[in-house]
Amino acid sequence: MYKVTAYRGHIRNHKALCAELGVDAALPRKEKEEAILIAAYGRWGRDCGLHLHGMFAFTLRDDETDTTVLVRDAFGTKTLYYCLQPDGTLLYGTNLSDILSAEGFNKELNERMLQHYLSLSYPGGEETFFEGVKKVMPGHVLTYHAGEISIERYWRPLFSPDETRSAEDFAEEFHETVKQIMKELEADGEEADSFLSGGVDSSYVLAMSGAKRAHGCGYEFEQLDESVLAAETAKALGREFHRRIVQPEEYFEAASWVMRHMEQPLGDASAVVFAIGARSVAEAYGKGEAAGIVYSGEGSDEFFGGYNIYRKAAEYGKRLETFYTGNTNIMKEEEKRELLLRYDREVQSFDLVRGFYAENKDFDPLHRMCDIDIRLWLDGDIYLNVDRMSRAAGIEVRMPLTDLRVFDIASRVPARYKAEGEHNKLVVRMAAEQVLPKEVAYRKKLGFVVPIRYWLADETYNGRVRALLQGETAGLFFNRKELERMTEAFLGGYSDLWRKVWAVYAFLEWYGQYFG
């Protein structure tokens, strides 16, 4: 008989599943959800993840048959890792620390990942920065039996646009579906707050929820401060708003904390701000490590075509197969060849998506881009950040727009309602207009911007960054002359180089935490 050996997440349709699977709905949350996981796997096996709405990574163990099963949700909202030891032992856990701390594990750097990271700015794909340790990819189930591993996929993004329906039809279906999801999230009467930026997604989630309090981060750098818009939205909705002004000193001080708890390097500068925001929410709750529940709006951009780069899909056409590895690509192969001491020609970042393109060849160009970002970027950057930083801060983030039922709608929405015309994500905006002021629902996407390019160039704040870039550890991996040239060019006014400088710094900060 199976028992749960590791689990993190939240099963939002637990009431319906209890009735269907014969689980006692009166059980405490942890016991109830674990009973659901066992019963769901018993009934549906590999496909159990299609019936569990929410976010989850869990492992089951049956001692009688010597079988271990690892299951990760369709989108990869929670991390799940494994390592097959030379003696046939399987190490696994929802945290990398579960494996790194295991008896007999030999910690070594997987330097191949550094090459991928310098293009993507996040740990993309199945491998991790630790040699021999891999991720269970989103929508996959791993089974370990008699010393052998087998991996099966139960879900991947499939797009089948329905050209017969109007944007209004889709918007109404989307709106009603989100209503149902919010009912599931709020059914237990748990106290919840909501993250709020200036964008439509978080504004819509707040408006659809019963959260009385919202939280956002801002800066004294006015042209990049979305929190002013967020405050206006909260006021219009009659909700309390906590605005955290992030100072550059605080930002750089938090970076090492972020890399330690992220467990892998992440070159997304917004991750540090999110971490500060998550800790701020925990402080507002005042409940220490059991801080509380917070709603957030991730998933909509990738499902419904929210990024501006998607507008170029038709222009790119078939050429996507030659260059697009996602909406971040900070270094080309020739740049990495110059920068790295040990560049490996056999390690090409495009190899991470080559198989995706073989599978999505029948999609239109926009949906090929969405497919890549759902399968690589969401897992490796967005959800990694949300999961690791919320866990470290002691809060639980729930993302109502990240749901198989929401994706089912998005999969049927034609490209012309996504990234064509005046507004991206037209369907989402039309739904949001029912509960938000029109100017909020149709506000152009600003992105989770950070004034890091200005802070990095200011000698008042960048001392630790420069020290690491010029230190001995940098010399273990990078061509010092090329790294210095890149850094000085940035400081000399080439501000677009900030992503490359920050990515290198984030890696060095992380390396010092785990190998220093």
> What average pLDDT score do residues 21-32 get?
96
The residues facing 55 across adjacent strands are 10
**How high is the pLDDT of residue 300?**
96
Strand pairing class (67-72; 81-84):
unpaired
Q: How confident is the prediction for the chain on average, in pLDDT?
A: 94
> What average pLDDT score do residues 18-29 get?
97
pLDDT digits (tens, 9 = 90+) for 103-126: 999 999 999 999 999 999 999 999
**How high is the pLDDT of residue 190?**
85
Query: Per-residue confidence at 444, pLDDT binned at 50, 70, 90?
Result: confident
Residue labelled with tokens 């920065």? 129
Q: Which of 420, 376, 397, 419 is nearest to 157 (CA)?
A: 376
Residue 145 has pLDDT above 90, yes or no: yes
pLDDT digits (tens, 9 = 90+) for 171-224: 999 999 999 999 999 877 788 999 999 899 999 999 999 999 999 999 987 777
Q: What angle (nearest 5°) sits at the alpha carbon of residue 271, between those of residues 98 and 243?
A: 125
Strands (E) located in 176-249: 192-195, 213-218, 240-245
Asked whether 280 and 294 are in contact (CB, 8 A), the reply is: no
What element of type H or E holds 62? strand 54-62
Asked whether 55 and 71 are in contact (CB, 8 A), the reply is: no
Asked whether 302 and 428 are in contact (CB, 8 A), the reply is: no
Give residue 409's identity as a one-letter amino acid code. Answer: I
Asked whether 348 and 333 are in contact (CB, 8 A), the reply is: yes
Please give the Cα distance from 482 to 484 (Å, whole number). 5
Please give the Cα distance from 365 to 386 (Å, whole number). 28
Residue 287 has pLDDT above 70, yes or no: no
**How high is the pLDDT of residue 288?**
44
Query: What domains, with CATH codes, occur in the chain?
Result: 3-153 (3.60.20.10), 167-307+349-441 (3.40.50.620), 452-515 (no CATH)
> What average pLDDT score do residues 32-43 get?
98
Asked whether 74 and 49 are in contact (CB, 8 A), the reply is: yes
Determine whether 143 is exposed, middle or buried from the number of CB atoms within 10 Å of its CB (0-12, 13-18, 19+): middle
Structure tokens belonging to residue 117: 């990271």
**How high is the pLDDT of residue 286?**
67
Asked whether 209 and 182 are in contact (CB, 8 A), the reply is: yes
**How high is the pLDDT of residue 242?**
94
> What average pLDDT score do residues 50-57 get?
98
**How high is the pLDDT of residue 290?**
42
Residues whose CB is less than 8 angstroms from the CB of residue 82 and which lie 6 or more positions away in sequence, other chains included = 70, 90, 91, 92, 99, 133, 134, 136, 142, 149
Strand pairing class (54-62; 90-93):
unpaired
Please give the Cα distance from 128 to 111 (Å, whole number). 10
Number of other residues whose CB lies within 10 A of the CB of residue 169: 14
What element of type H or E holds 3? strand 3-11
Structure tokens belonging to residue 455: 């802070």
Please give the Cα distance from 367 to 16 (Å, whole number). 32
**How high is the pLDDT of residue 449?**
74
Please give the Cα distance from 374 to 302 (Å, whole number). 6
Up-side HSE of residue 348: CA atoms within 13 Å toward CB? Answer: 10
pLDDT digits (tens, 9 = 90+) for 87-100: 999 999 999 999 99
Query: Per-residue confidence at 289, pLDDT binned at 50, 70, 90?
Result: very low
Structure tokens belonging to residue 75: 């989108």
Residue 73 has pLDDT above 60, yes or no: yes
Strand pairing class (213-218; 192-195):
parallel
Please give the Cα distance from 465 to 235 (Å, whole number). 39
DSSP symbols for 215-236 = EEEE-S-GGG-THHHHHHHHHH
pLDDT digits (tens, 9 = 90+) for 333-391: 999 999 999 999 999 999 999 999 999 999 999 999 999 999 999 999 999 999 999 99
Strand pairing class (67-72; 140-145):
antiparallel
Residue labelled with tokens 């935490």? 513
Please give the Cα distance from 23 to 1 (Å, whole number). 16
**How high is the pLDDT of residue 446?**
67
Please give the Cα distance from 426 to 474 (Å, whole number). 46
Please give the Cα distance from 17 to 23 (Å, whole number). 8
Residue with more model confidence, 226 or 238:
238
Query: Per-residue confidence at 462, pLDDT binned at 50, 70, 90?
Result: confident
